[in-house]
Amino acid sequence: MAFKDLREFIDKLKEYDEIQPIDNEVDWNLEIGAILRRCYEIEDPAPLFNKVKGYPEGYRVFGGPLGTFKRLAIAMGLKPDAHYNDFLDKYDQGMKQHIKPVVVSDGPCKENIMLGKDVNLYKLPAPMIHDGDGGRYICTWHITITKDPDTGWVNWGMYRRMIHNKNTLGGMILPTQHIGSIFKKYEDMDKPMEFAEAIGTEPITAFVGTSATPYGVNEADVVGGIRGEPVELVKCETVDLMVPATSEIVFEGEVLPNVRVDEGPFGEYTGYRASPRAPRPIMQVKAITHRNDPILTCSCMGMPLDDSDVSMNIGFAWGVRKALDDIGIPYTGVYIIPESCCFFTVVATKTPYSNIAHQIASCIWSTHVGTFLPKIIVVNEDVDPTNLKDVVHALGSKLHPVRGIHVVENAVGWPLAPYASLNERLWGKDSKVLFDCTWPLDWPEEIAIPPKASFNNVYPDRIQKKVLSNWEKYGFKKKKRRQ
């Protein structure tokens, strides 16, 4: 089922008890953020704040739309207990079976229109999300839409936005991001870059916005492919861009060239307030459109799991699979550990030749998505990469403290990496590390490689089949599938 808008998705979440309406009045100043952060950390349903202090009745805030894999499964039309590989396959479908959007003449996002002097970002209930944030962040679960001036390619991405004043936003635009490549072209021409922010879209749009889709691929086409039907787009009022017609809220405007104003800090998906306050680009808002009784979606990023850990994870893992497929490296599984904030990637592989782990790591790090994946663990095919017990066992028992750990210095870095020094974050420098947990091929298997003492390895097939077929007869309860 493809959801036409956020409201249909909210109704579906109610059927699965994955949403918690809150009718008590809540304060936008930290209370919303604190409740949402608590929901992530104890795995409670997503909160829907129906009454925000100082705002009209009907103005709502919805936190954590995709804060669990269960909610992502519902958004993608999968079974709520879908396995990790099911998400990758569904994303792969969207990448291979593009469905282009359709343009409509009008949409719910046009029900209210503010232009020019009437623009006031404070009319919407933007929360002060974390104590210590540089300001109120109104864009934390949304898409930012920009257009390449040379090719016309339109990028949908998710980039944080802080309110400076009633008609000005600020936020990070990094050179390693697609928006950074596009913005540089405008700055080189000393021209403003048009942008639009779409908040409260149907769920797959925001999901794909986090996923590091390859440069030149239209995210709108991927969203359609995953949904199985096209996204409806409508033209903006003041810029030459189009936005999802059923968005709850839309901002339109320009990013000014060669102008910087201090923005941040902000509690990020890495689990830390990792980026200090610093001069960053500003966005002049020329128009705000929104639905009646608008719903502002937000994420309270921090310690995993939250929306970013869940959503970025799948797109990044798909990027790893594609990179390995493109050059024919054999693998049996890929998993980006969500609890690592996407910093740890696990690849299980057959070992047809020596040092394949090095080739796997080099392949991943040579891609755009590899910028965000500094730590790679390579394991043998007998390890299920989605089973952390298996992975930790491989790290403990197969990883040689000297010849198994390989560090690459002076690599392209990620400015939000908490472990990086201030200088490394400023200049986008980093190191990468490979943990090779595969058995060396030159070891004689019968002598040097110890057999694994596990259910699947040390019992005959007939005994395994008998035990599995009788498991519930023994009195054990059937286990749920692990994500």
pLDDT at 477: 79
Q: Report which DSSP code applies to 29.
A: B
What tokens were used for 167? 């008609």
pLDDT at 410: 83
Characterise 410 by phi-psi region: left (phi > 0), alpha (psi -120 to 50), beta (else): left
- Answer whether 143's CB lies under 8 Å from 154's CB: no
pLDDT at 142: 98
Q: How many CB atoms lie within 10 A of CB 220?
A: 23
- Answer whether 195's CB lies under 8 Å from 254's CB: yes
Tell me the angle at which helices 307-326 and 69-76 cross, rounded to the nearest 10 degrees: 70
CATH superfamily of 327-457: UbiD C-terminal domain-like (3.40.1670.10)
Domain range annotation of the chain: 6-298, 327-457
One fold for 6-298 and 327-457: no
pLDDT at 449: 77
Type of residue numbered 95: M
pLDDT at 447: 65
For the 6-298 domain, the top CATH level (class) is: mainly beta
pLDDT at 272: 86
pLDDT at 441: 84
E strand or H helix that includes residue 244? strand 242-244
Per DSSP bridges, beta strands 102-103 and 60-63 are unpaired
pLDDT at 166: 98
Q: Which residues touch 396 (CB under 8 Å, ≥6 apart)?
A: none
Q: What is the per-residue pLDDT across 348-398, written as a single tens digit (0 to 9) for each?
A: 999 888 899 999 999 999 998 998 899 999 999 999 999 999 999 999 999
pLDDT at 481: 54
CA–CA separation, 368 vs 180, rounded Å? 13
> What are the average pLDDT values for consecutive 10-residue runs of the chain, which has 483 residues?
94 97 96 95 96 97 97 97 96 96 98 97 97 96 97 96 98 91 97 98 97 91 97 98 98 97 92 87 98 97 92 94 95 95 94 92 93 94 94 94 92 79 80 93 75 82 92 81 51
pTM assigned to the model? 0.91
